[in-house]
Structure 1
Amino acid sequence: MARILLGAVVCSLFVAARCMYSASDDVVSLTASNFQREVVQSDSLWLVEFYAPWCGHCQRLTPDWKKAATALKGIVKVGAVDCDQHKAIAGQYEIRGFPTIKIFGANKNKPDDYQGGRTSEAIVDGALNALRSLVKDRLSGRGGGGGGGGGGYDSGKQQRSTGGKKDVVELTDDNFDRLVLNGDDIWLVEFFAPWCGHCKNLEPEWAAAASEVADQTKGRVKLGAVDATVHQGLSSRYGIRGFPTIKIFQKGEEPVDYEGGRTRADIVARALDMFSENAPAPEISEMLNEAVVKKTCEEHQLCIVAVLPHILDTGASGRNAYLEVMLKMADKYKKKMWGWLWTEAGAQLDLETALGIGGFGYPAMAAINARKMKFALLKGSFSEQGINEFLRELSFGRGSTSPVGGGAIPKINTVEAWDGKDGELPVEDDIDLSDVDLDDIEKDEL
């Protein structure tokens, strides 16, 4: 008997260790032997987590799941099933990814997928919404569909598709290597399952992020999606064990897991960080014609315009020094993906007038928002420190702005590109005065 008791204790400790939940937690450990009695035959509302001990997402969920269980004690039952140990239960409820959370309401034979967030607060809110729905169903006399008939839950049977999401690239076993591994672009790839509730929640955020990233990186960072239930070769190759899983692929490097948030803003921020880390400094373009200005200012949120002194005033070395300062600042602020232009004083007088340049002398700098037709002027020195302070204020949305004179960028003159050399004074024609009769000139004047 003692040997049996000892074995039971050891077994219980082993199961508790694997299950990540112990008897001291308010999470009920559900097994093949107690699931029917505790959950299916119960009148209580249950939130049940189906997990695997090796699953990283499950491990991160554990403290919030315990906290939610304590908060809901006596109100909603909270349980957990170790699907490695109890594969029959996982099979019965078609569990294919971890963690999967289901709500067992009035109809215990048809639980609903939990679609909310994974913080303790979100879990509690979801449980209370499901409970409210269950109570309303009972009050109205409806016998089924409780525990998730409202509050944002669905049956989980709607199929996920990238159709209509024009900027999300559908990746398959056939095109993955060609597009992702052998391409030069940076990829964020979501591995999803159509039945996965978390994947459905991510879908609109992923689609919106894909469009914004495509626009801001000119297609150099792409977002893709793999239906891992169809393209199981890819899922197996990259060890996908839970949904959704997002991986980052860059040419010549091993893929890494995306660990950021799952809102559009979070995804876009990470994509732009990767883009800027791998992007060269923006080109500083000379303002040679209207096409150059239009392309630079209309395709960027801001275009930074410098008006440099005439070449005769600075020589090549002085001009190159100014351009070097601009290059350093362009590299420092390359994450902003602004456009950069320069011109020589006097070459584009209409533009100088529209921007109020000239009152502060040369060199001068302005930042133009072509969409709003507003600009800001550099008031400090044309130096790394002065320009940095100017651009930093702009990046935080601070600083005074004015409307562009005339409400539009004025006509840009077509000029020849600077040849990189010192300027030369124009050659004056020699005038031969030998045949001029000065007496005749004096008579004419009289």
Structure 2
Amino acid sequence: MKHSLTSIALGALLLSQSALAGLYSAKDHVVDITAQNFQAEVMDSNHLVMVEFYAPWCGHCKNLTPHYKAAAKNLHGIVKLGAVDCDDDKNRPVCSQYDIKGFPTIKVFPANRGGKKGVKHPKDYQGERTAKAIVDHLVKLIPDDIKLVTSNPSSEKITNIDEFVAKESEPRALLFTKKLASSNMYKGIATDMKDRMIVAEMRVPNDNVLKQFNLDNLPTLLVFPKDSQEPVVYTGELKRDPITEFLDQYAAPAKTGKRAAAPAPKPAVVEFNPNISQIADQTQFKNECLDKPIGSCVIAFLVVEPEFPESVQMHEENLETLRKVKKTAFDKNRPLHVMWMDALDKRVVGLMDQFQISSDIPGLLLINPGKKAYAPFVGAFDVEGIQGWLSDSSSGRGRVFPYSFEVALPEPSTKETKKAEEKAEEKSSIKDEL
């Protein structure tokens, strides 16, 4: 049997957690962060790091993408901006670790200087989702690893220039400048070189210093190699990459390999929940299915008549079938939200009509709210039949369709509810008059 490309694509969208490519490519300045490199790129980094947790199908994430790319380009080499694709199964542990419940979620991991190496405590970014707002926010948090040097230090935090030059045990870089504040670029270079060399700055040097170091123009960057007090003058462009390449020649080797540092906190162990909830109203429907950021929903349409033991027994058997299907998905680390609705409820009948579901009971509907795709049930209502249907839906062998309407389980409008509403209006109007 042949299947259309549309059917196959929708099937992949319905259940696959990695069907869409990420929103960022290698040419962008946004670092692709995964569960495997999270510790190295974020926790062990000397830099301030902003991390976006996203899903490729998320509309808000797509809207953010050009702004995030622009901010990353603007702050390249100064602040690290990365992104985690939570739709990728491999990244689910790190997304779970930080309790990501909606997309995009943006967290800022500080450049810890007083805390334990490899341990950072992030804060949620609550600002506007524009490049300017992101840049403005991060610039305020940039760490300053530049040592200040003067001829006459006024505090212990400032180093005497003669002592700085004489400290031959480490390589040193010294920028002489007319500016009264450090540039963000130089701050980024200092952070890059942290633990490899001392990066310092002398602002508005006096005539004696200018003469001592033969400084004709400012800014001028000098490097004092390890075991030497003779400076090497940098003559290249005053841009980040060439300056970094120059300093690399004299800096201590970058540390590589694993170090004995505290690992990132392990994600909490999630235990299997065997409960199959009955959906009774729109609020519960949203909580259990429609507002879930990841995964698909399996909705069973069942009928149970409590006054008949045979009906109750059949209902329990149907729920047990659903539990086994849910457990299989859980064991395979596939987010599948399983629930049931009363097929005799007029609101549920309306929902079945929306998706053109057969009135045969028991029935099933598979939907992915985030990707707006659904599949009606075809097969036997048993574990093997349901799992086969799910497999066919994900591979494109089954019938899968898009939908564009808002899924709703409206509250019934009855005489009782109307009377309650009228009474509430009367109370409200009386209260207003008082």
When normalised by structure 1's length, the TM-score is 0.36
Larger RCO (CA within 8 A; separation ≥ 6): 2
When normalised by structure 2's length, the TM-score is 0.36
Higher helix share: 1
> For the pair shown, which has the larger CA radius of gyration, 1 or 2?
1
